[in-house]
């Protein structure tokens, strides 16, 4: 049915089919002997075939041309006693195929009111042909059977058009839903990237600036030593924002992690240490880490260290452990804070844990986070094999 939907929108397919029937019909007339008046009938059939071809683009014009051409052809046939072959209707095979194509197309693509009016014109033209092209008596059994067959054929064409219309509606709604889901996923990914990357760098700037303000009066040199870290965090934040803008302009990919997870994690830890957080890193990675897993692990480490900056109560050590199991990569980030959570400057958006959980669950992994002995612990296990959800 999907191919039929495609064909209804492609006049070349309709034209090929209808004209093939027209050529066969006309060719048989020429091969098996004909009168000039019988060949003249083909002149009135041709516009009906053309109407079927243009129906997808100009349905009103197509219905008018087909109805008038079939009506004039009926008058011509009656006047010159031409009795062309009929198939499923009083019309010729080419006219019948063309009429059916037009009916299906009109029902499929037209407005309800216009489709009913156009169907009425086509049925009136076919009924006119039934009354004046047939040689049997008007109320004979043969004429009544022919009328019943015509009604059945038209009904099948109408039902087919209704079915195709419904199927096309379902397909359009499914496409719209898919587009909406894709846009929503893209917005969520951008929001997650803003939170995980940009907020990470900005938090580092704020923490280091606060530390500089605290020690500036007693130790100006210590405050001066914190300035390069603030500059680096600001530079990284600007670079991340530029990448996000580039993504929105569809000029570059969203993710910025490299293929070297070891180097990426160490760089994230170094930035945290520059901000004044003592981090102990333990890392045992497999030889090959899938790219999606590597990105997610890096974001988890960055977000966990950002949360330590923002929320941990006077921590003296943050342990970051990356270990490899039989088929999974395990991450633990734990601080030894004194209990309670610090409210950061500017408040907290509250989406950090949600974003981390989403990342892990999308890869089919396990995630947990909570207080442990006064500090905070993040645990994640990401499968190294298998498909993401």
pLDDT at position 254 is: 46
Distance CA 207, CA 315 (A): 14
Q: What is the mean pLDDT of residues 9-29?
A: 73
The per-residue pLDDT of the chain, averaged, comes to 79
More confident residue, 15 or 4: 15
Highest mean pLDDT among 217-231, 237-251, 323-337: 323-337
The pLDDT > 70 percentage for the chain reads 77
- β-partners of residue 381 are 330, 366
**Is 71's pLDDT higher than 80?**
yes
Burial class (CB in 10 A: 0-12, 13-18, 19+), 84: buried
Q: What is the model's pLDDT at position 68?
A: 92
**Residue scoring higher pLDDT (275 or 333):** 333
- Of 148-152, 175-179, 180-184, 330-334, the poorest mean pLDDT is in 180-184
- Is pLDDT of 257 > 60? no
- C-alpha radius of gyration, the chain, whole number: 38
pLDDT score for 31: 59
How many Cβ atoms are within 10 Å of 348's Cβ, its own excluded? 15
The closest of 56, 175, 40 to 104, measured between CA atoms, is: 56
Give dist(CA 189, CA 199) in Å, integer. 14
* Residue with token string 């041309």: 65
Strands (E), the chain: 279-283, 318-324, 328-335, 366-372, 375-383
The conformation of residue 286, written as its DSSP 8-state character, comes to -
Average pLDDT on 376-383 reads: 92
223-235 average pLDDT score: 77
What gap in Å lies between CA 130 and CA 197, rounded to an integer?
A: 76
Q: Report the SS3 class of residue 329.
A: strand
Phi, psi of 373 (to 5 degrees): 55, 45
User: Which tens digit of pLDDT belongs to each residue from 285-300?
Assistant: 888 888 888 888 988 8
Model pLDDT for residues 320-353, shown as the tens digit of each residue:
999 998 789 999 999 988 776 666 554 555 567 7
Task: Look up residue 69 and give its two tokens.
Answer: 């051409």
pLDDT for 246 equals: 64
Owner of token pair 């898919």: 178
What pLDDT, on a 0 to 100 scale, did the predictor assign at position 381? 93
Contact 94, 48 (CB under 8 A): yes
pLDDT at 148: 84
pLDDT digits (tens, 9 = 90+) for 113-135: 888 998 899 889 888 888 887 66
| pLDDT reported for residue 11 | 66
Which residue is it, tokens 């990448």? 243
- Of 109, 86, 94, which Cα lies nearest the Cα of 4? 109
18-22, 265-269, 372-376: range with lowest mean pLDDT: 18-22
By the 8 A CB rule, do 244 and 236 touch?
A: no
At residue 354 the predicted structure's pLDDT band, cuts being 50, 70 and 90, is confident
> Which of 22-31, 82-91, 151-160, 187-196 is the most confident on average?
151-160
How many angstroms separate the most distant Cα atoms in the chain?
Answer: 118
């Amino acid at each position: 049915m999907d191919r039929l939907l495609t064909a209804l929108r492609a006049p070349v397919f309709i034209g090929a089919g209808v004209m093939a029937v027209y050529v066969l019909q006309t060719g048989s007339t020429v091969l098996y002997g004909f009168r000039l008046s019988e060949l003249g009938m083909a002149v009135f059939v041709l516009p009906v075939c053309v109407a079927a071809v243009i129906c997808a683009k100009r349905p009103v014009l197509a219905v008018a041309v087909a109805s008038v051409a079939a009506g004039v052809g009926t008058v011509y046939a009656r006047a010159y006693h031409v009795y062309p072959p009929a198939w499923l209707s009083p019309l010729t095979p080419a006219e019948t195929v063309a009429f059916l194509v037009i009916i299906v197309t009109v029902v499929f693509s037209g407005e309800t009111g216009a489709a009913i009016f156009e169907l009425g014109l086509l049925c009136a033209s076919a009924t006119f042909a039934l009354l004046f092209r047939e040689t049997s008596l008007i109320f004979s059994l043969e004429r009544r059977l022919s009328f019943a067959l015509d009604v059945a054929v038209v009904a099948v064409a109408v039902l087919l058009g209704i079915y195709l219309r419904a199927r096309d509606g379902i397909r359009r709604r499914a496409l719209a839903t898919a587009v909406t889901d894709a846009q929503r996923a893209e917005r969520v990914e951008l929001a997650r990237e803003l939170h995980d990357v940009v907020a990470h760098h900005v938090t580092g700037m704020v923490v280091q600036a606060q530390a500089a303000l605290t020690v500036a009066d007693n130790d100006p040199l210590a405050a001066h030593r914190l300035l390069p870290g603030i500059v680096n965090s600001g530079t990284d934040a600007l670079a991340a924002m530029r990448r996000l803008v580039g993504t929105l302009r569809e000029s570059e990919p969203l993710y910025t992690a490299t293929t070297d997870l070891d180097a990426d994690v160490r760089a994230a830890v170094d930035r945290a240490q520059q901000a004044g957080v003592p981090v102990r890193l333990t890392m045992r990675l497999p030889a090959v880490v899938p790219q999606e897993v590597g990105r997610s692990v890096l974001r988890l480490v960055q977000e966990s260290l950002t949360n330590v900056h923002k929320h941990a109560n006077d921590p003296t050590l943050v342990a970051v452990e990356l270990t490899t199991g039989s088929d999974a990569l395990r991450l633990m980030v734990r601080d030894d804070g004194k209990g309670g959570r610090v409210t950061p400057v500017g408040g907290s958006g509250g989406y950090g844990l949600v974003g981390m959980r989403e990342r892990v669950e999308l890869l089919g992994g396990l995630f947990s986070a909570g207080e442990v002995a006064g500090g905070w612990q993040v645990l994640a296990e990401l499968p190294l094999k298998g498909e993401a959800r």
